[in-house]
Amino acid sequence: MKTQNKFITLGLLSLFMLNACGGGSSGEAGSSTGSGTLSLNITDAPIDSAQNVFVSFTGVSIKPQEGPAFDIDFVDNNGDPEVKTIDLLDQQGPNSAPILVNHTLDAGHYNWIRLKVLSDENTNDSYIVLDSGAHHNLYVPSGDQTGLKLNNGFEVTDGGAVTFTIDFDLRKSVVAPGNNSLAYKLKPSLRMVSNNNVGHISGEIGSVSLNDADCTDNDYAVYVYSGTGATPDDVDGDAGDPVATALVSVNNAAEYEYAVGFLEQGNYTITFTCQAGDDISDSDDAIEFIGTDNVTVTAGSTTIYNFN
């Protein structure tokens, strides 16, 4: 069956201009004097009960403020079309995978970016592997595109370099099959940040939290919300959803640890749950949270926060 390109339009949130050494040949916008470079990376806030989530990218489309949108299609060293397939579950916490590196663009303002993704309901170009070993295709419904586009964009300066990281946040994005379909729906909740303005949070989960009376399951995760004093809530598509989430893992010293990556500098509310497996992205679920507190993220550094 013919593979189709699905396009995910990203609203660029709070993007900042980076002045650094860049430049090169003339970019595609054609509306400004001089040029700079653009780099894009992919990261992920993971989900439970999946071993892999593979998403295949063929390029990006970019819309300058003046003039039509244009495509940047990925090619290999021989100039042939290239598909970049990334396992999003390998890109957790402070990890990310590059999909566009120092691509030259004309200096000027750009309205939006669109990721070109191979994701059709009847093909396995993009797919999820569950803990059971079962494979399911991932597809992006075309109707989900318009809701992801915002009016703000980003700026490329003459001789400047801009680098952004895109967080897929699979806990909000992957929807189990319905209506007799075997394919999972990829309903992207994308967060895009300037690498010049981000930091990370990491730490450990102590025995007090793990043995709390509300810790009735072993599906451990950390949720992070925008602002101080936020009331923790499950992921259900409402305004109170977490900015990011992170699974908890056990290290070689048998300690429970977590890492939340690529958070914009600012104040956040952080909390822990052992019922993350019951959090279904498109429903209101009764999730118990433990040890809620405030943390501050500083650009270029990692804030250490340990739950007791």
pLDDT digits (tens, 9 = 90+) for 108-161: 999 999 888 888 888 888 999 998 999 999 888 763 443 334 445 899 999 999
pLDDT digits (tens, 9 = 90+) for 273-301: 999 988 877 778 889 999 999 999 999 99
Answer whether residue 78 shows pLDDT above 90. Answer: yes
Residues with Cβ within 8 Å of 209's Cβ and at least 6 positions away in sequence, in order, are 215, 272, 290, 291, 307, 308
pLDDT confidence of residue 83 = 94
Distance CA 213, CA 231 (A): 20
Average pLDDT rounded to a whole number, residues 253-257? 91
Does 14 score more than 70 pLDDT? no
> Looking at residue 85, what is its pLDDT?
95
CA angle 48, 50, 53 (to 5 degrees): 120
Question: What CATH topology corresponds to 198-304?
Answer: Immunoglobulin-like (2.60.40)
Please, what sign has the CA dihedral across residues 94, 298, 169, 306? Answer: positive
| Mean pLDDT score of the chain | 84
Residues near 252 by beta carbon (within 8 Å), at least 6 away in sequence: none
Rounded to two decimals, the pTM is 0.82
Q: What band does 185 get if pLDDT is binned at 50, 70 and 90?
A: confident
Whether 25 and 35 have beta carbons less than 8 Å apart is answered as yes
Closest CA to 275 of 200, 213, 191, 192: 213
Domain boundaries, the chain: 5-189, 198-304
Quote the DSSP letter at residue 209.
H
Average pLDDT, integer, range 33-59: 90
In this model, does residue 196 exceed pLDDT 50?
A: yes
Band (pLDDT 50/70/90 cuts) for residue 179 is: low
The least confident of 32-36, 66-70, 125-129, 215-219 is 32-36
The phi, psi pair for 195, rounded to 5°, reads -65, -15
Q: Percent of the chain, pLDDT > 90? A: 55
Digit-coded pLDDT (tens) for 197-234: 999 999 999 999 999 988 988 889 999 999 999 999 99
> Which one has a higher pLDDT value, 25 or 82?
82
Alpha carbons 62 and 13: distance in angstroms, whole number: 16
Is 234:279 a contact under the CB 8 Å cutoff?
yes
Residues 6 or more apart in contact with residue 3 via CB below 8 angstroms: 118, 120, 123, 125
Mean pLDDT, residues 253-280:
93
